[in-house]
């Protein structure tokens, strides 16, 4: 069921967020919600409880990381046509999970990467669904990188590289599990029946393992922290004169 009454929801979420002392960005669309907010722990948890009062958002999965400073300047709640623009309106993840892209949890992915194949013996390919500059900060070892400039470029890149993916188990990943969800729906629609997403994205993988096996570098995030290490901590600020 699509999320409805978006202008009223935007107003309510913004007002409650300000009351809870939060800053960050919240995106609302008929397909769901995506949010990056920061504040005192009590305020964040109070606001998330408010969000989850909506039955369609009751199972909202929030990832947590900690920062000694506020990484956002303002609180913005926006209504958009798509959470992440792909220009493929037929690809709509659904809140009842029946329309979700098939996913593998971090433990399964690590086991497959350790073995070099999935549980059925099929070779695994990792596909990075992020923009090129994000990949440059860090990525899974050996992952395919199509040097996307924006996510709406993904369908054309998929069409150009489709033959290269055939015969493999493809696991797409992104920062938090939003873009790779739609990427896998697009691959499935294109006939790749062995395409999966990394459930929860890179950040959920970091939560599972402090040393992030099979990962190199840091993870770019769209806030003032810029990048996070596998410990989910921002890069330490320099001490002393530059």
Q: Give 10-residue mean pLDDT values along the chain (242 residues).
A: 86 96 92 89 95 89 85 92 73 51 95 96 97 97 97 95 96 93 92 95 94 96 91 70 42
Summarised one tens digit per residue, pLDDT across range 157-176 is 999 999 999 999 999 999 99
pLDDT digits (tens, 9 = 90+) for 128-163: 999 999 999 999 999 999 999 999 999 999 999 999
Q: What is the DSSP string of 28-61?
A: EETTEEEEEEE--HHHHHHHHHHHTTSGGGTT--
- The reply to whether the predicted model has a pTM over 0.85 is no
CA distance 88 to 200: 22
Residue spans per domain, the chain: 6-79, 103-228
What local confidence, expressed as pLDDT, does residue 239 receive?
45
What is the CATH topology of the domain spanning 103-228?
Oxidized Rhodanese; domain 1 (3.40.250)
84 class by beta-carbon count within 10 Å (0-12 exposed, 13-18 middle, 19+ buried)? buried
Residue 136 carries which DSSP code?
H
pLDDT of residue 32: 83
Point out the catalytic residue in the list 20, 174, 180, 219: 174
Per the annotation, the verdict on 174 as an active-site residue is yes
DSSP three-state, residue 111: helix
pLDDT value of position 174: 96
Token duo for residue 124: 């695994």
What's the confidence (pLDDT) of residue 241? 44
The torsion angles phi and psi of 57, rounded to 5 degrees, stand at -115, 10
Same fold, 6-79 and 103-228: no
| Per-residue model confidence (pLDDT) at position 99 | 56
Average predicted confidence (pLDDT) for the chain: 89
Report the C-alpha gap between 222 and 184 in whole angstroms.
22
**Domain 6-79 - what CATH class?**
alpha beta
């Amino acid at each position: 069921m699509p999320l409805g009454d978006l202008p009223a929801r935007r107003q309510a979420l913004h007002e409650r967020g300000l009351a809870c002392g939060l800053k960050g960005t919240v995106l609302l669309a008929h397909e769901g919600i995506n949010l990056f907010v920061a504040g005192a722990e009590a305020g964040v948890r109070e606001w998330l409880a408010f969000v989850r009062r909506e039955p369609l958002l009751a199972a909202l999965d929030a990832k947590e990381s900690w920062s000694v400073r506020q990484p956002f300047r303002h609180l913005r709640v926006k209504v958009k046509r798509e959470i992440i623009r792909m220009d493929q309106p037929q690809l709509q993840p659904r809140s009842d999970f029946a329309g979700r892209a098939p996913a593998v949890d971090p433990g399964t992915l690590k086991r497959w990467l350790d073995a070099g194949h999935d549980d059925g013996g099929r070779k695994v390919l990792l596909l990075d669904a992020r923009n090129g500059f994000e990949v440059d900060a860090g990525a899974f070892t050996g992952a395919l990188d199509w040097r996307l400039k924006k996510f709406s470029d993904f369908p054309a890149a998929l069409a150009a590289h489709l033959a290269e993916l055939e015969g493999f188990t493809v696991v797409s990943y992104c920062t938090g599990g939003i873009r790779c969800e739609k990427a896998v729906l697009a691959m499935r629609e294109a006939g790749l029946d062995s395409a999966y997403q990394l459930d929860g994205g890179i950040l959920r993988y970091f939560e599972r393992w402090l040393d992030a096996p099979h990962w190199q570098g840091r993870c770019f995030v769209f806030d003032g922290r810029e990048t996070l290490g596998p410990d989910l901590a921002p890069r330490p600020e320099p001490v002393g004169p530059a």
